[in-house]
Amino acid sequence: MYKKNLSPDFFSKKHFFRIGFYKEEPQISVAGIYIVEIKNNLIDVKSLILKLQMPGLYLHIPFCTKACLYCDFHFSTLLATKTEMVNAICKEIELRKDYLGENKINTIYFGGGTPSLLNEKELNLIFETINKHFTVEENAEITLEANPDDLKKANLQILKSVGINRLSIGLQSFLEDELKWMNRTHTAKESVECVKIAQQAGFNNISVDLIYGSKFQTLQTWQAALKQIEELNVQHLSCYNLTVEEKTALGKLVELKKENEVDDDLSAQQFLYLSEWAKTSGFDHYEISNLGKENYFSRHNTSYWEGEYYLGLGPSAHSYNGNSRQWNVSNNTVYMKSISEEKSFSEKEMLDERKKFNEYVLTRLRTKWGIDPQYMSTHFKRQINIHFEKRAEIEMANRNLLRVKGNLVLSPQAKLFADRIAQNFFL
């Protein structure tokens, strides 16, 4: 049993509070909620409640009507098995209902794929199954990714009625030629109209996606796109640099010299303009790819960067419980068959202290909050902290890191190389 000295006036009786629970060395701790009793100025740890704030559910809906040029996410265009897949996901919910312990669900996120392809019956079945096996917070953030051409008035009313309270709309572009090149299913006109229709339907928490860096764009067209975002008055914006992935249609075209690589200089100009634009447009650039207005940051995605637990459901979905990461098979047929036969459909990786440190640095450097030295000192061994401090001094000398409110954050220019700088810290 662990005990720790306190000043006489710190506590007077039983309390619930968050502390570091030390094992072997005071530099190693496991964050958690502890029931303690104060006796003679000592904390007497009675028990550990195995929970870490409020976790989320991620549901991967692996269907699209067509393949986008650049996309390397797991999906299928064979929609005939959609209902069977929904039944399998509901079965997985039942099989893994204990993964998050007794925690209440704070966020639910439908990703894909194209979750807006789900019909009312399928959505109701999923929510009925979730509510049967989990307790969902009354004010939970419930997001559904949608394609613009799926957001008709009738569909929006269904989404509203089943409990969706946040939309993430894949606009990607306001340029007609670019959308056709991307092999998107919607038009430039629909990119604008779908947001307005969603707002008229009562959705007041809307995020939209844009892609920058393609051959169709200039700095001027990017500025015009962001001006359009202002006029649409959405609450959140996700902006992604076009990347060439090997197994995509774009990757094959680049390999065959039929398309050029992305212009890194143009991408850098557009990213830096985005950061400056945010300062005067009511958006907070709180993560490399995400900008939100006050009180409208993505709670679900922020939980990833904060190290919260989450359960991923559906093929290719990932889960995290503090000690391990788990990922489901990226094959619809194998996933559904394994679920029906209650056979293994996932792989697992145990996370040692080195891996946890690397992940902490990688994710936190992408955010405006950066790396917290106090968190470092209470969650990692002294040797890791010494390594971190030495590397941080080098990065600060190179003007890649700044100290803001005690935390270490990337400088504006260094955000262009966030992952590379994070890798400089890796063990």
Residue 290 has pLDDT above 90, yes or no: yes
Give the angle subtended at the CA of 68 by the CAs of 232 and 255, to the nearest 5°.
130
* Residue 161 three-state SS: helix
Q: What is the mean pLDDT of residues 280-301?
A: 97
pLDDT in tens, 315-342: 999 999 999 999 999 999 999 999 999 9
Q: Which two tokens stand for residue 70?
A: 């650049």
CA 318 from centre of chain: 11
Assess whether pLDDT exceeds 60 at residue 45. no
**Whether residue 42 has pLDDT greater than 80:** no
Query: Is the pLDDT confidence value at 36 over 60?
Result: no
pLDDT band at 24 (very low <50, low <70, confident <90, very high): very low
- Say whether pLDDT at 12 is over 70: no
Amino acid at 113: G
Domain boundaries, the chain: 15-49, 56-305, 366-427
Asked whether 289 and 278 are in contact (CB, 8 A), the reply is: no
The secondary structure of residue 65, as a DSSP letter, is: S
Average pLDDT score over residue span 123-150 = 97
Q: How confident is the model at residue 17 (pLDDT cuts 50, 70, 90)?
A: very low
Task: Give the sign of the dihedral formed by CA 323, CA 329, CA 332, CA 333.
Answer: negative
Query: Distances in Å between the alpha carbon of 157 and those of 101, 115, 118, 195, 197?
Result: 33, 15, 13, 14, 11
Q: To which residue do tokens 């958690």 refer? A: 32
- pLDDT of res. 21: 30
**Average pLDDT of 162-169?**
98
> Are 309 and 98 in contact, with CB atoms under 8 Å apart?
no
Residue in 356, 412, 366, 352 with CA at minimum distance from that of residue 388: 356
Residue type, 149: D
Whether the Cβ atoms of residue 50 and residue 322 lie closer than 8 Å to each other: no
Residue 15 scores a pLDDT above 90:
no
What number is the average pLDDT over the span 395-414? 96
The tally of CA atoms less than 13 A away on the side-chain side of residue 113 is 29
Total Cβ atoms within 10 A of residue 252:
14
Quickly state the pLDDT bin for 67 (edges 50, 70, 90): confident
Please report, as a single letter, which amino acid is at residue 143: T
Say which CATH architecture domain 56-305 belongs to.
Alpha-Beta Barrel (3.20)
pTM of the predicted structure, to 2 decimals: 0.87
Contact 155, 114 (CB under 8 A): no
The DSSP result for 220-252, as a single string, is: HHHHHHHHHHHHHT-SEEEEEE----TTSHHHH
Say if residues 271 and 415 touch (Cβ distance below 8 Å).
yes
pLDDT of residue 262: 94
Mean pLDDT of 179-194: 96
Position 263 scores a pLDDT of 95
CA gap 38, 17 in Å, rounded: 12
Q: What is the pLDDT of residue 43?
A: 41
Which residue, chain included where needed, has tokens 């953030």? 141
Q: Kindly indicate the confidence band of residue 147, based on its pLDDT and cuts at 50, 70 and 90.
A: very high
41 Ramachandran zone, left/alpha/beta (phi>0; psi -120 to 50)? left
For the chain, the average pLDDT equals 88
Mean pLDDT of 150-157: 95
Rounded percentage of the chain residues whose pLDDT exceeds 90: 83
pLDDT at site 118: 97
Cα–Cα distance, 237 to 234 (Å, whole number): 8
Mean pLDDT of 380-394: 96
- Per residue in 223-278, pLDDT tens? 999 999 999 999 999 999 999 998 899 999 999 999 999 999 999 999 999 999 99
